[in-house]
Amino acid sequence: MWQQFAQAVEGRFSGARALWQACEQYRLERWFTFANFSRSADRVAEQLAQFGLDDVCVEEFPADGVTSWSGWTSFKAWEVEAARLWLTSPQEELLSDWSVVPQALVMYSGPCAVEAEVVEWDGALDVDLTGKLPFTRHRVNDVYAPLCQLGVPGIVSDFIGTLPGVRDPFDVPDEVRWENSGLRPAKGRMWGFMLTPRQGQRLRELMRDGPVRLRAEIRSEAYDGTFKSATGVIQGADLVDEEVLLSSHLYEPGGNDNASGVGVGLELARCLQEAIHSGALPRPRRSLRFLFNWEGNGLMAWFERHRDEARRIIGGLNLDEIGVDQGIGRSVTHLFMPPAANPSVIGDLALHLSEQILLPKVRVRPVADRAEIINDTITADPSFDAVLPCLIQYPAKYYHTSGDTPDTLSPEVMGRFGVLAATHLLTLANAGPAEAEWLGRLALQGLRRKLGEVELRLMAGQWPFSAARTRSWFVEQAQLKAASLARLGTPEAAVTALAEEGQAAMDVLLSRESPRFQPERAREATPEQLEQARSLVLRRLTPGAPKAWESLALTPAEEATYLEVLFGNNLDLLFHRLVYWADGRRTLLEIVERLEFELDELLQDTAIARTASGSQIGGRAGELSLGAVLYIVDLLVRNGYLAT
């Protein structure tokens, strides 16, 4: 069914060439300015054209800090000429030089020429920092708001980020954190430097002995500019109005993140084009599109600009951080599956092929969709219905640090991902009735596996839902999964039969384990909240779902309340999902009931061990606060993303 594609690509896809491509991308993007970003996209397009792909195109999108695509707001363009941080007292020493370690400069830092005494600061507002330079252990993002309130334009941080089981600060004592978003909202009006954990420790030791002074010199500019995407197509044979998409993001300075994904994507384009041209592979029925752009924002921009072309995309794959040697990166490949609002069989295919092709060389496990941290899964939104399961070696030891270099990459690992990606794309591009039937069996197998997990949790007294709610949830999941086969030309009768098989599997579980289910419980909410949730029917007003942050017009006080509600109720995990379920027919209460199942699954995914707020995952899901959800919905309505 898929083996002939894997066999045709084995020996043709070169991990060494993919690594070379990654090194060339890293050479440009290590200095993460927009001039280099432009060169990076141009280089990708040149490679695609050289390989002989059709419709090779470089497009420009506004980088003005204003233009928004479904709440994914454009960034300002940014350039750097020079940036240095000096210790001037009690001795003189160069601590940081952008030309040597570019990641030491916080992205979007504005120009400055400042010398001041450095003081330790934990983000508190009840301090006077006039004439001082704050030095913090915290991530710049987390202290940005109090920094603004205190009117302090600059900051120094030695935050590196702990990734449980993967790294703590002194696993990487001489690397700096690459901070790409902390000062983005300031649009060049603030600046920051990152120190290594070892430098931070030494600076604190000096501060204990007396006053310490630093001098910061930056020549940089934030301005209205553009960013680019690059794309090319291998034309299909007969289903020319349908496409399968391979996406991988540009514009980050890491060897693994994401020069590796781009390197594999480019070698994949070369390999497949050459194999088809030579006759080693028949031309696929559907076209193959390769898209390289900015993570999240750039993908949303491209999909909104190309609504007609995007409708042709039946699915595909996203590659992000897939080159690191797992022994060096202490990593496991995570496959981010489609969201429950669109549980496409494309996810089941990606999982099956990952287990067949990656193991045992490359460790892999599936996890629930996390669009708030893995942005390029956003087109699985039912509004777009272009499901791109994401393969990513996250978390990894050198994630977002200066240590993420090409010498941590493995051509053997990149080679396995190349064979996997080629097989996945070709299977989808050639799928007809027989392949769709096989995919249906695969999807049913996945559904039965999930039901088996429910049964084990029932036996342990750890399944929190009633029998009626459980049946409703899994019957709907079976129906949605079966419906996804329709895009591959599966007859309606076959789609219906598959959904009925899924329902029958659920009924077998109910007949066997009915006494173990929890009784239905009354929801903890006021009568007014319950009535509102039962009566509100939500519909979408934008093509895509907005980001959970940077997409709402809020005062500083409103933002503080919003973040407290968002993170305090696990709604950072559910923000996109809430919008995905809003189809103009479901009530808010029906959406909340679905979100509670999704949250339960998320809290089982302990491999991705933290929420965006830093809260530990691994507990049991309780019911969602209707008051908190109503608050978030009100903001989404007020900001023009949803209507009632």
- The alpha carbon dihedral of 338, 343, 345, 348 has a sign of positive
How many angstroms separate the Cα of 432 from the Cα of each of 161, 321, 339, 426? 47, 32, 24, 12
Give yes or no for residue 619 having a pLDDT over 60. Answer: no
Instruction: Report the run of H or E that residue 570 belongs to, with start and end.
Output: none
**Residue 336 CA neighbour count, 13 Å, CB half:** 29
Q: Per-residue pLDDT averaged across 307-322, rounded?
A: 96
Nearest to 293 by CA among 38, 97, 463, 487: 38
* Contact of 409 with 22, CB cutoff 8 Å: yes
Cβ neighbour number for residue 289 with a 10 Å cutoff: 21
Report residue 174 as tokens: 């001489």
Banded pLDDT at 618 (limits 50, 70, 90): very low
What is d(CA 107, CA 57) in angstroms, rounded to the nearest whole number?
28
Question: How many alpha carbons fall within 13 Å on the CB side of residue 61?
Answer: 29
Tokens encoding 19: 């690594």
Quick one: the chain helix, strand, coil %, rounded to 5?
45, 20, 35
pLDDT at 390: 97
pTM, entire model: 0.96
- Taking the C-alpha atoms of residue 153 and residue 632, their distance in angstroms, rounded to an integer, is 31
Three-state secondary structure call for residue 83: strand
Cα-based distances in Å from 455 to 234, 448, 502: 45, 10, 15
- The residue with greater pLDDT, 138 or 608, is 138
Q: Which residues contact 94 (CB under 8 A, 6 or more apart)?
A: 84, 85, 86, 87
SS3 537: strand
* pLDDT value at 620 more than 60: no
- Mean pLDDT, range 612-634, rounded to an integer: 74
Average pLDDT over residues 251-268: 98
Q: Identify the CA nearest to 341 among candidates 202, 453, 481.
A: 481
Of the two residues 549 and 487, the one the predictor is more confident about is 487
DSSP string, 113-134: EEEEEEEE--S-SSS--TTEEE
pLDDT of residue 614 exceeding 50, the answer is no
CATH of 77-223, one of 3.40.640.10, 3.65.10.10, 3.20.20.70, 3.50.30.30: 3.50.30.30
DSSP state of 1: -
pLDDT in tens, 30-46: 999 999 999 999 999 99
Tokens for 176? 């700096």
Q: Which two tokens stand for residue 213?
A: 């002074």
pLDDT tens per residue, range 357-405: 999 999 999 999 888 788 899 999 999 999 999 999 999 999 999 999 9
Q: pLDDT tens digits, residue range 205-233?
A: 999 999 999 999 999 999 999 999 999 99
DSSP labels, 13-81: S-HHHHHHHHHHHHHHHTS--HHHHHHHHHHHHHHHHHHT-EEEEEEEEEEBS--EETTEEPPBEEEEE
Q: What is the 3-state secondary structure (H, E, C) of 184-226?
A: HHHCCCCEEEECCHHHHHHHHHHHHHCCCEEEEEEEEEEECEE
pLDDT at 484: 97
Extract the tokens encoding 341: 């609002």
**Is the Cβ–Cβ distance between 632 and 546 less than 8 Å?**
no
Environment class of 126 (CB within 10 Å of its CB; exposed 0-12, middle 13-18, buried 19+) = exposed
Measured torsion, CA atoms of residues 484, 485, 489, 493, in degrees rounded to the nearest 10: -110
Closest C-alpha to 184, from 310, 331, 77: 77
Alpha-carbon distance 57 to 46, whole Å? 10
Question: What residues contact 83, with CB distance under 8 A and at least 6 apart?
Answer: 96, 97, 98, 104, 105, 109, 193, 217, 218, 219, 220
Neighbour-count burial of 252, counting CB atoms closer than 10 A to its CB (0-12 exposed, 13-18 middle, 19+ buried): buried
> Cβ of 548: how many Cβ atoms within 10 Å?
23
Region for 247 from its dihedrals, namely left if φ exceeds 0, alpha if ψ lies in -120 to 50, beta otherwise: beta
Please provide the average confidence, as pLDDT, over all residues in the chain: 95
Is the confidence at residue 7, as pLDDT, over 50? Answer: yes
pLDDT at 171 (0 to 100): 94
**Residue-level pLDDT at 621:** 61
Q: Does domain 3-74+229-431 have CATH number 3.40.630.10?
A: yes
